[in-house]
Amino acid sequence: MTERNPDGNDKRQAPYFNPGPWMGTKGPTRLKAPKKAPPPPHPSDLVTAAGHLVVPDFFAEAPAMRAAIDAHFNNPTAHGPDTHQIWNYWHVPDMYTYLRTLPRKVISAELMGSFWNHLAAWTRANLNCVPSDAYLSLYIDGCRQELHNDALNGHFGYVFSLTRWRERRFSGGETVILKPGALGQSTAGGGAMAGSSFYDLVPADFNQLLIFDDRLPHAVRQVNGLMDPLEGRLVIHGHLRRAE
């Protein structure tokens, strides 16, 4: 037997208001179920729409990675060939100028392994991609990257920052990423455009992961101001390929 309310309605029905004589005689007014919130956008959709995605506070052991870099550069009078003649000064005229090395030559294999596993798990789960390579790069006064793309190197690029960005004493160092559709908007008569109408500037905040579409033209603004490596722009960067 169906259990019923005192007024005879089935208790299993949706709740309602009985307006009573003071609200008219139209009878019960049923409550509408609240609308479900739309699911959050998928990270890969965000990269496609905006050209890039920023993930703050990415890796819990970032301070330990930065401590390893500090220890590497501290006490410069004690540096030797085996430990410090490991940096490639990569200068391609009118294109690239910065120093780079393999991260494991500065950061312990255990710590880099933890970072690599975390990066691979996150990118596989969120982008269906896996990292294919990694460089540790240093930008001091005069270092930069000019506009280029990496369409043949991967599906996405990534930049993980170990820079003390909030305390920096240099100018420049932001990643420049062309906005998707900016050139098309300009040539389609969308009005005058200049500067940041064409591109985004992404600061290298500490412990931040930046993901961007490798097909988009991108660059690194020239760093100006300091020669001290401890106060330069320090990042781990590379490319992501589709997971097989």
Domain that holds residue 202: 43-242
Residue 99 in contact with residue 89, Cβ under 8 Å?
yes
By three-state DSSP, how is residue 219 classified? strand
pLDDT attached to residue 17:
47
Q: 150 is written with which tokens?
A: 């990496």
CATH code of residue 66: 2.60.120.620
Give residue-wise pLDDT tens across range 154-173: 899 999 999 999 999 999 99
Report yes or no on 200 lying in a domain. yes
Please state the rounded mean pLDDT for residues 226-237: 97
Return d(Cα 236, Cα 111) in angstroms, integer.
13
Query: Distance between CA 183 and CA 143 in Å, rounded?
Result: 27
Residue for token pair 């307006």: 19
Supply the mean pLDDT for the chain: 87
End-to-end CA distance of the chain: 57
Q: Does residue 167 fall inside a structural domain?
A: yes
Residue 35 lies in a domain: no
Mind listing the pLDDT tens digit for each residue in 89-119? 999 999 999 999 999 999 999 999 999 999 9
For residue 31, what are its two tokens?
């409550």
34 in a structural domain:
no
Q: What percent of the chain has pLDDT over 90?
A: 70
Q: Which pTM was predicted?
A: 0.81
In a domain, 23, yes or no: no
Residue 60 lies in a domain: yes
How many domains does one find in the chain? 1
